A and B are shown apart, each in its own frame.
Chain A
Amino acid sequence: MADELNGRDGPGAGRAALRITFAPGSQAEADEAPIRAGIAAGGRVSIDGEPSEAALTDRTSSTARLETSDGSHRVLLHELPDPRRAALGVRRVEVVIDGWRIELDVESEARARLRERATSVRAEAGRGGPSELRAIIPGRVVSVDVAEGDAVEPGGRLLVLEAMKMQNELKAPRAGTVVRVAVGPGETVELGDVLVVIE
């Protein structure tokens, strides 16, 4: 138990080791790995085991400057509070840097590992488990291409969502069977609403 909590992550990853992940739905690419950050004295960090020279300066309530060996970047910072995430020990922050807005989840590395173990146990039990497809932008459902019981292939069109006068096709992330269609044509959906469940 104590070992689990402390984590075993090599140099720089001690008791306060953190895992920093791109928040789901914020354009995270599949190949974008989380980083493990070790926290050293004096506000310095190590990134994936390597000590980093980067530092945050000029802090105000919502801005800062990131000084790296390559240069200086103005940064906008904001925490996105959410009681559910907070209860799980996950904090989500918005960082705007060089015009890019990025949402990140910050949690303890040890906790993340426990969650992963729990998830893998659950996944084994459920043999793949269902995939919930959620709306990544609020909008209106234009058409639904699948019905419950349909078999889908990866990349197959599930539905079309209209937002800001543009039609966005939602495609199946993997093969499976549609077990639930939670929306119908004409319905308005909010960010994060479940649209389709595939098993």
Chain B
Amino acid sequence: MATVKRPPADTPTVASLSLRKDGGDGALPFRRVLIANRGEIAVRILRACRDLGLETVAIYSDADAHAAHVGLADQAVRIGPAAPTKSYLDIGAVLDAAARTGAEAIHPGYGFLAERSEFARAVNDAGLVFVGPSPAAIEALGDKLHARRLARDAGVPIVPGTLEPAAIDRPDDLPPLLAEAASIGFPILVKATAGGGGRGMRRVVRATDLPAVLVEGSREAASAFGDGRVYLEREILPARHIEVQLLGDSSGRVIALGERDCSIQRRHQKLVEEAPAPGLSDGERRELHRLAVAMGTAAGLTNAATAEFLRAPDGRYHFLEVNTRLQVEHGVTELVTGVDIVREQLLLAGGRPLSEAALAAAERATPAGHAIEVRLSAEDPGRDFTPTPGLIRLWAMPSGPGIRVDTAARAGERVPPEYDNLLAKVMVHAPDRAAAIELLGAALAEVEVAGIQTTLPFHRFVAGHAGFRAGELSTSWVAEHWDGPSAAAGPRRLAQVVAALLAASEGATDSGAPEPPRRGTSEATGWPPGPGEGTSWAEAALEAMVDRWPTS
């Protein structure tokens, strides 16, 4: 790796001024940050850098040449074609972009390279600052089995299951494995050691299916993660998914910046998140935070990470995993604590201690107010959340007091099929949960997207659902309450009526001849004039048909 070019130390910048407000001692050890990501999170990080007076470098693939994050950065570097493995996942290309632009720190965002310890290590080896936990912590917590053993040793209760990789290569080892599975209890999840975030897991209901699923799961894990090790965990159902935002500084101090409830998921991917988790007493909340801090401390965590737990119906917590990165849903924590987590990350990466604001929020444990986020994604909630890449034709997001929208999407842009399909995070913040849900409903009523199907109808359904309002949350909420095809049926019928009315308004009538040509119509409606000048398009359709179709 080539040596890193330092930018000239010229006149004092806004950075040094605004940094003093944080009570720090002088400038950060970096002034130019490369954001190794795209989409809304790249924009979010760019803004935090800008607020700190740091210069920004964006990277982009060919699919993103005109994307919002490229335009907002001080500099932008093309790093490859659309395929993620040849662009945003290409460590060499990212480091090369940093070297060429003189970037001194790299923020990985979430996804892509964020939890690759080899990336964090390569960044450090190149003499740059990695904005995130240490490579060692990423590695220790990225191995989900290792994380389970760490938790056990730290006295943090884990989801019942195995602590060593399942022996699947030796058929003679099966009886003890089956006995162990029986003692864990079915249904069981077969999980990839290198997986996490809901990826690389399979559900087994009957013991007789276990050997085959182990083999398949292992093969899948080997192909997806390059690591075929799998382990067993009991499926806890019903459960709530509650996670704790952790921050740590280089002195070894780890704090919990509150928790989030992310129970509403599909295929183990989160759809709705809120802070604080509803229905917890202050004592329960502090106990959960204590477990998360114990986990983070055991792993030697610095910067930002999130400890995920399942809350069983009996109120007990079971440690799931730690994500060693900025979380998609960090915004709801920011809203209720007033702490800018990305700014905090940048300051911590620069060697600062935890900020006063963060320490105070951790001390409070139970925040004032309530925040909810919904993930507006390019997915069809009427067809089992199938991806719907395409051209965004119209794009209107809500605004106003208590509403925050993090997005990089714009009308006229294409949602590429190569990447994650998150379009926007619509967040609301209100004095209490009931008011937040009201505000969420009002905010979602303002959302308008055309050109692609989004998850909007699902989110409106959630906001209006009595069970959700009552705080009845579970990881099986979507399966229990959402029937996409039925929800879509009424609007689909209405759409047919709209199309009929639209045609009617264009002059086709039942009285014989079409109405006289109305040149104004096309401008007024956006419909181009029909193929035959002066005839309604329904009439033109008939003519076209006569020309083309045999009638005998």
Q: Chain A: residues with CB nearer than 8 A to chain B?
A: 1, 4-5, 12, 14-16, 18, 20, 22, 27, 29, 32, 34-35, 37-41, 43-45, 47, 52, 54-56, 59, 61-62, 64, 66, 68, 73-79, 81, 86-91, 93-102, 104, 106-108, 110-111, 114-115, 118, 137-139, 163-166, 168, 191
A161 to chain B minimum Cβ distance, whole angstroms, is: 10
- Given A29-B485, A61-B526, answer yes or no on A16-B450 (Cβ-Cβ < 8 Å): no
Q: Are B542 and A110 in contact (CB under 8 A)?
A: yes
- Given A27-B383, A39-B503, A164-B378, answer yes or no on A99-B454 (Cβ-Cβ < 8 Å): yes
Instruction: Indicate with 1 or 0, residue by residue over B488-513, a CB within 8 angstroms of chain A CB atoms.
Output: 10111011111111111100111110
User: In the complex, what distance in Å separates the CA atom of A94 from the CA atom of B492?
Assistant: 11
User: In the complex, what distance in Å separates the CA atom of A68 from the CA atom of B504?
Assistant: 16
Residues in A whose Cβ lies below 8 Å from that of B496: 20, 22, 34-35, 37, 47, 104
- Given A66-B494, A100-B457, A100-B495, answer yes or no on A5-B542 (Cβ-Cβ < 8 Å): yes
Contact of B491 among A59, A100, A111, A115 (CB under 8 A): A100
- Given A78-B526, A79-B526, A89-B542, answer yes or no on A18-B501 (Cβ-Cβ < 8 Å): no
Residues in B whose Cβ lies below 8 Å from that of A191: 390
Find the B residue at minimum CB distance from A35: B496
- Given A39-B510, A62-B450, answer yes or no on A118-B550 (Cβ-Cβ < 8 Å): yes
B87: interface (CB < 8 Å): no
Residues in A whose Cβ lies below 8 Å from that of B449: 96, 101
Residues in A whose Cβ lies below 8 Å from that of B488: 27, 100
B417: interface (CB < 8 Å): yes
B157: interface (CB < 8 Å): no
Q: Which residues of chain B from 487 to 543 have any CB-CB distance to chain A below 8 Å in the complex?
A: 488, 490-492, 494-505, 508-512, 514, 523-528, 531, 536-543
Contact of A77 among B382, B447, B502, B531 (CB under 8 A): B502
Other than the given A18-B538, A89-B540, A95-B498, 16 more pairs (CB < 8 A) read A20-B496, A39-B510, A45-B504, A59-B524, A59-B525, A66-B494, A77-B502, A78-B394, A78-B526, A89-B541, A98-B457, A100-B457, A100-B495, A101-B453, A110-B545, A166-B386
User: In the complex, what distance in Å separates the CA atom of A141 from the CA atom of B162?
Assistant: 35
Q: Are A100 and B389 in contact (CB under 8 A)?
A: no
A10 to chain B minimum Cβ distance, whole angstroms, is: 12
> Count the B residues whose beta carbon is within 8 Å of the partner chain — how many?
72
Q: Are B498 and A41 in contact (CB under 8 A)?
A: no
Q: Are B497 and A47 in contact (CB under 8 A)?
A: yes
User: In the complex, what distance in Å separates the CA atom of A45 from the CA atom of B500?
Assistant: 7
Residues in B whose Cβ lies below 8 Å from that of A18: 500, 503, 508, 538
Residues in A whose Cβ lies below 8 Å from that of B230: none
B393: interface (CB < 8 Å): yes
Residues in A whose Cβ lies below 8 Å from that of B312: none
Residues in A whose Cβ lies below 8 Å from that of B227: none
Residues in B whose Cβ lies below 8 Å from that of A41: 509-511
Q: Which residues of chain B from 15 to 39 have any CB-CB distance to chain A below 8 Å in the complex?
A: none
A154 to chain B minimum Cβ distance, whole angstroms, is: 19
Q: Are A102 and B495 in contact (CB under 8 A)?
A: yes
Q: Are A108 and B528 in contact (CB under 8 A)?
A: no
B62 to chain A minimum Cβ distance, whole angstroms, is: 13
B460: interface (CB < 8 Å): yes
Q: Are B545 and A88 in contact (CB under 8 A)?
A: yes
Residues in A whose Cβ lies below 8 Å from that of B545: 88-89, 108, 110-111, 114-115
Q: Are A104 and B386 in contact (CB under 8 A)?
A: no
Residues in B whose Cβ lies below 8 Å from that of A106: 499-500, 502-503
Q: Are A108 and B541 in contact (CB under 8 A)?
A: yes
Q: Are A89 and B544 in contact (CB under 8 A)?
A: yes
Find the A residue at minimum CB distance from B540: A89
Residues in B whose Cβ lies below 8 Å from that of A14: 510-512
User: In the complex, what distance in Å separates the CA atom of A74 from the CA atom of B390?
Assistant: 22
Contact of A40 among B510, B528, B531 (CB under 8 A): B510
Q: Are A118 and B510 in contact (CB under 8 A)?
A: no
- Given A16-B514, A104-B496, A114-B545, answer yes or no on A44-B504 (Cβ-Cβ < 8 Å): yes
B77 to chain A minimum Cβ distance, whole angstroms, is: 24
Q: Are B503 and A111 in contact (CB under 8 A)?
A: no
Q: Are B456 and A99 in contact (CB under 8 A)?
A: yes
User: In the complex, what distance in Å separates the CA atom of A39 from the CA atom of B525?
Assistant: 18
Q: Are A39 and B504 in contact (CB under 8 A)?
A: yes
Q: Are A165 and B420 in contact (CB under 8 A)?
A: yes
B387: interface (CB < 8 Å): yes
Find the A residue at minimum CB distance from B452: A101
Q: Are B387 and A166 in contact (CB under 8 A)?
A: yes
User: In the complex, what distance in Å separates the CA atom of A56 from the CA atom of B540?
Assistant: 23
Q: Are A12 and B448 in contact (CB under 8 A)?
A: no
A122 to chain B minimum Cβ distance, whole angstroms, is: 10
- Given A5-B542, A90-B541, A111-B541, answer yes or no on A56-B420 (Cβ-Cβ < 8 Å): no
Find the B residue at minimum CB distance from A37: B500
User: In the complex, what distance in Å separates the CA atom of A165 from the CA atom of B415?
Assistant: 13
User: In the complex, what distance in Å separates the CA atom of A106 from the CA atom of B501?
Assistant: 11
A61 to chain B minimum Cβ distance, whole angstroms, is: 4
Q: Are B394 and A76 in contact (CB under 8 A)?
A: yes
- Given A77-B502, A78-B526, A137-B389, answer yes or no on A88-B510 (Cβ-Cβ < 8 Å): no
Q: Are A16 and B394 in contact (CB under 8 A)?
A: no
Residues in A whose Cβ lies below 8 Å from that of B524: 59, 61
| Chain A CB within 10 A, most for which of B449, B450, B528 | B450
